[in-house]
Amino acid sequence: MRRISPRQLRRMQAKMLGNLGLDFKELGKAEEVRIRLPDREIVLEGSSVFEMKFEGERIYQIVGGEEVVGEAEREEAYEPTDEDVMLVAAQAGVSEDEARNALRETGGDLAKAILLLKSKR
């Protein structure tokens, strides 16, 4: 099979997309891309960004990049209630400090905290 150079391949892609009515171009590497959703934020660094134009609409495609934790995703540390700590401590047969640490580690999931503590014995 004949080898196609990257330059020829880009030309062929552009021609095919043009025949379909798509205008496709690479915008370059982005320093940072932020996507804000109702419940979290996604931050990407070093992504390649492409733009497609089709029937008056623009579509952006983000490829690759390194995901970093966004401000909205950094939640305050979970602090378990005294009732949860006492319940986990009683069920797992451990001290309140151990129960509190297990609850922090599991994000407040009582069942997981109890199972975690019982598996450590």
At 2-36, the pLDDT tens digits run: 788 877 887 887 788 778 877 778 888 888 888 88
What Å distances lie between residue 48 and 21, 31, 38, 55, CA to CA?
23, 9, 25, 23
Distance of CA 115 to the CA centre of its chain: 28
Q: Quick one: 108 and 63 in the same domain?
A: no
Query: For residue 69, what pLDDT is reported?
Result: 67
Domain range enclosing 96: 82-119
Query: For residue 74, what pLDDT is reported?
Result: 46
Q: Is residue 58 part of a domain?
A: yes
> Exposure pattern of 5-42 as b/e (b: 16+ CB <10 Å)?
eeeeeeeeeeeeeeeeeeebeeeeeeeebeeeeeeeeb
Q: Quick one: 17 and 50 in the same domain?
A: yes
Q: Quick one: 14 and 67 in the same domain?
A: yes
Task: Determine the Cα angle at 35 with ends 34 and 38, to 5°.
Answer: 135
CA gap 76, 102 in Å, rounded: 17
Q: Quick one: 10 and 53 in the same domain?
A: yes
DSSP label of 28: E
pTM for the whole structure: 0.43
Domain count, the chain: 2
Q: Provide the 3-class DSSP secondary structure of residue 99.
A: helix
Q: Is residue 1 part of a domain?
A: no
